[in-house]
Chains A and B, each alone.
Chain A
Amino acid sequence: MTFLATPEAAAPLNLSRRGLLGAAAGALVLGLGARPAASQATPAAEAMPNPFAALLELRADGTARLQMPFVEGGQGVSTALAQILGEELDLEPARLLLECAPPGARYKLPGAPRVTGGSSSVRTSIAPLRRLGATARAMLVEAAAIRLEVPAGSLTTEPGFVVHAASGRRIGYGELAEAASAQPVPAGVTLRDRDKFRWIGKPVARLDVRAKSTGKMVYGIDLAVEGMLQAAVQHAPRYGMEPAEIRNEAAVLALPGVHSLHRLPGAVAVVADRWWRAHRAAETLQVAWREAAPGAANAMPADFSTRALRDRQQAAPGPGITAETAGDASGALKGAARVVEASYDAPLLAHGQLEPPSALASWNAEAGTLELWVPNQAPDMYLPVVARAAGIAPEKVTLHSPPLGGFFGRHFLYEAASPFPQAIALTKATGRPVKVIWSREAEFLRDAFRPAALVRFRGGIDASGLPVALEAEIVCDHLLNRTFGAPADRHDRTVVEGIANKVYAFPNRRVAHVVQRSPAMVGFWRSVGHSYNDFFMECFLDELAEAGQTDPFALRQRLVEKSPRHQALLAAVAELSGGWKRGPFTAPDGSRRARGIALSSPFGTEVATIAEVSIQDGRARAHDVWVAIDPGSIVNPSTVVEQVQSAVAIGLSSALLEEVVYEHGTPRARNYDGYPILPPDQMPRVHVRIIESGAPMGGVGEPGVPGVPPAVVNAVFALTGQRIRSLPLSRARFGRVS
């Protein structure tokens, strides 16, 4: 048994003999994590249940399992991680089984948050994972050297084997696993040269597509355990309200399959043998809801409406909390040749992930332990909250993180917007495992929506038409405060991202966050603040171009003059689209069309987007979207293209269709009929060019989103002369274009 003593916990630990849960005997198990606090190799420690688990387990059958710190939800992280690890370990990615690890510091990668979000998984884990793979490979080689009685330096590997070229002998990793696990963990390993990569940077096929094409992938909503009951809930119409009288309790209890009724915070649950029976019974419940107690958390007033919210945002007094300043914005505005003022707004948005939320909880009263399966993007954030909800210590909780049927920010920790507290209460109340599924309607009532935002812009241009000053006051909730308790007297960087620190760097600028808490439950939504701010900023930039009588593309070229990376990006997207042409022009099918451009810098990646639109039946339609994306460097080009396709779809959906409307304190739409998401017949062709500029690796999952709404809206302006400053576009009516 050897542990490598590295205080920063950056190097692998050998955990092979710790009797890990799920680790096969004779496996080499390596972990990257904090070194154990207690002395490591005492017999007492040996006898104790292992306090560690491991990231990588190499099995006797030659396969390997990686307990990855992230959860797969369609973004392709499991394949990317398999490519990275396989590359250094020298094992076919397809031989790697990847699962989301349980919570625990031992699964945390050094330097990477244990959160699947912020488009961060690959870029934060590539370095430590490469080291992990290389370390395991070195130990296998050492073990083979002993077995073959040759110097380690005479050995090489090929996928899955250690090879002694001189004698033509080769030994499979599986055979070596046990012996390798006894080897000392090498202190330093050499990594593979970039130009020798076989999998990193290559379009390796994703590992899960077959299972997902044949219905074999098991999602949280599909899980079942012995003796399980199922539950559905009727939520209070508004947050904060609590169930009072249930008028038809006896009648509902008598419905087929119904096991029991439970009053929960803000909800009444029906537990039954089958979910649909529980669901129907829950819908049938006639609950009298008591108004929220004074001071109740998240209480939603009965008169809240999104229309009034927008008016209040418009009226919210500045100047707000400064997020970025340079020069003297107000002075420069006074001296500007022209000043343009505009206010833009974007609505609350639902996540609309296709898998409705669920949670399966199993309480063991004797042991005082809880096993919980819940879709989540952050097991370590969930764990203490789950434990608190169950009234037990975190060690008593086994938390599983199943693959996600879409997430887009839905499964961060929003305790009041997740079914797991209900599942915990119900398993404790019934003494049986209980799976709670939220109906689509229950989900639309309880999603944590993307906050609504409004910006007040003032921009000044000089006599040559170049913007010289920008003032932006973004009126929005404080997401970081509400979700993570960040100080509310400092600006929320997620609320200003996309406008603050923009590459254009106007010489005089002031960007501020006017904090205005809205009673709606809010959360992170794919590309977060960029999802609205890039729309605001890139459309307003087009307004400045219009005022200065410059072409919007040419203006952006001028504004990024000092950044070769952005110049290349603009050139790439122009070339990809066949050369910049704004239009309007007549397409081969006879329709009138125009194009719009947007530049955005989300999550460490640079993106330029061009969209081509026409107006059909008074509605905007996007035909083609060209995206040049520069994440610095990449792991899987086909995943990057797929993520851009996906991002364009959701970005366009938000531009054209999506809006959560509240009236009388409740969201009006409760299903996809009232809240349409992009259907297939509105999907544009998407053309992607990946640029690897060599800059530090940026994200991929979200960056394709924010450029789409402004590119589309700018194109609509070029085509119709109508400047849309409020999304979605479906609210606007467009006349015939000529």
Chain B
Amino acid sequence: MDLIVNGVRHTVALEAEMPLLWAIRDELGLTGTKYGCGLAQCGACTVLVDGIAVRSCITPVESVAGQQITTIEAIGEDAVGRRVVEAWVAHQVPQCGYCQSGQVMAATSLLKQIAQPSEAEVAAAMTNLCRCGTYNAIAAAMRQAAQG
């Protein structure tokens, strides 16, 4: 099957049900996308599929073949993504940083869909877990990125 990741087409031979996460990390070697739970609980594995945030650990690779997959490695190629990263840096969001690829991708997806989300919309979209408790910094960075 063909996987289009960050604009590059890869032809891969994988089990249909292999989670996209592991295709990205192990097959393509893009390790910015993280494994946290494998159960749609934490969001560390969030990537964009056709611009929408998806938890790649519960996405069978077969189901996104041929679609545009964006990982954190290409975040700088997206205007909204760049804005999110700058807000993250400005607000010094990451601590251990392990959840942050997923947080940045979830934020980017939201802002691509709703340029100026309300607090409630942010709360509804930003459900990724952070064991380091960076939630308030994330909220502050979101406010900045939304204004940008």
Report A's interface with B, CB cutoff 8 A: 73-76, 205-206, 208-219, 221-222, 224, 230, 256, 274-277, 352-356, 403-408, 437, 439-440, 638, 642, 645-650, 653, 671-673, 677-681, 683, 685-686
Contact = CB atoms under 8 A, between A and B. Distances in A.
B41 A275 contact: no
Say whether chain A's binding surface is mostly helix, strand, loop, or mixed.
loop
A646 B133 contact: yes
B34 interface: yes
Given A210-B85, A404-B96, A645-B134, 7 more contacts: A215-B101, A353-B96, A354-B130, A355-B34, A671-B41, A677-B129, A680-B123
A681 B130 CA distance: 12
Contact of B22 (A219, A221, A275, A642): A275
Contacts of B25: 222, 275
Contact of B32 (A214, A355, A677, A680): A214
B99 A354 contact: yes
B89 interface: yes
Given A209-B93, A210-B85, A406-B96, A274 B27 contact: yes
Interface of B: 15, 18-19, 21-22, 25-27, 29, 31-39, 41-42, 44, 71-73, 75-76, 85, 88-89, 92-101, 104, 123, 126-139
B42 to A, nearest CB: 6
A679 B131 CA distance: 9
A224 B99 CA distance: 20
Contact of A356 (B36, B76, B95, B132): B36
B22 A274 contact: yes
B26 A672 contact: no
Contacts of B85: 210, 213-214
A143 B127 CA distance: 56
A355 B92 CA distance: 20
A370 to B, nearest CB: 23
For B37, B129, B137, the residue with the greatest tally of chain A CB atoms inside 10 Å of its CB is B37
For B18, B27, B35, B85, the residue with the greatest tally of chain A CB atoms inside 10 Å of its CB is B35
Nearest to A439: B38
Contacts of B104: 213-215
Contacts of A352: 131
Contacts of A403: 96-97
B119 to A, nearest CB: 11
B82 to A, nearest CB: 10
Contacts of B72: 214-215
Contact of A214 (B38, B76, B98): B76
Name the 10 nearest CB pairs between A and B, nearest first.
Answer: A649-B133, A215-B32, A212-B97, A74-B96, A405-B98, A215-B72, A74-B95, A212-B94, A276-B22, A222-B31
Given A685-B136, A686-B136, A638 B92 contact: yes
A353 B131 contact: yes
B77 to A, nearest CB: 11
Contacts of A206: 92
Say whether chain B's binding surface is mostly helix, strand, loop, or mixed.
loop
A209 B131 contact: no
Given A210-B89, A642-B92, A672-B41, A221 B131 contact: no
A355 B41 contact: no
A440 B32 contact: no
A206 B15 CA distance: 41
15 contacts: A213-B88, A214-B104, A218-B31, A221-B35, A256-B15, A274-B26, A276-B26, A353-B131, A354-B34, A406-B98, A648-B133, A650-B131, A671-B41, A678-B133, A679-B127
B45 to A, nearest CB: 11
A627 B43 CA distance: 29
B89 A209 contact: yes
B42 A645 contact: no
A339 B14 CA distance: 69
Nearest to B17: A280
A692 B83 CA distance: 36
Contacts of B123: 680-681
B97 A405 contact: yes
Contacts of B15: 256, 277
A646 B136 CA distance: 10
Contact of A645 (B18, B98, B129, B133): B133
For B15, B27, B33, the residue with the greatest tally of chain A CB atoms inside 10 Å of its CB is B15
A686 B92 CA distance: 16
Contact of B137 (A274, A645, A648): A645
B49 to A, nearest CB: 17
A134 B137 CA distance: 35
A354 B36 contact: yes
B37 A440 contact: yes
Contacts of B33: 215
Given A210-B89, A405-B96, A356 B35 contact: yes
A289 to B, nearest CB: 23
Given A230-B26, A276-B22, A642 B130 contact: no
Contacts of A213: 85, 88-89, 93-94, 97, 100, 104
A408 B137 CA distance: 20
Nearest to A444: B37
A649 B135 contact: yes
A671 B40 CA distance: 10
A439 B123 CA distance: 28
A678 B41 CA distance: 12
Given A275-B22, A646-B134, A680-B123, A212 B37 contact: no
Contacts of B133: 645-650, 653, 678, 683
Contact of A275 (B26, B96, B97): B26
Contacts of B27: 274
Contacts of A440: 36-39
A671 B37 contact: yes
B137 A642 contact: yes
Nearest to B75: A214
Contacts of A222: 25, 31
A276 B132 contact: no
B125 to A, nearest CB: 10
Contacts of A230: 26
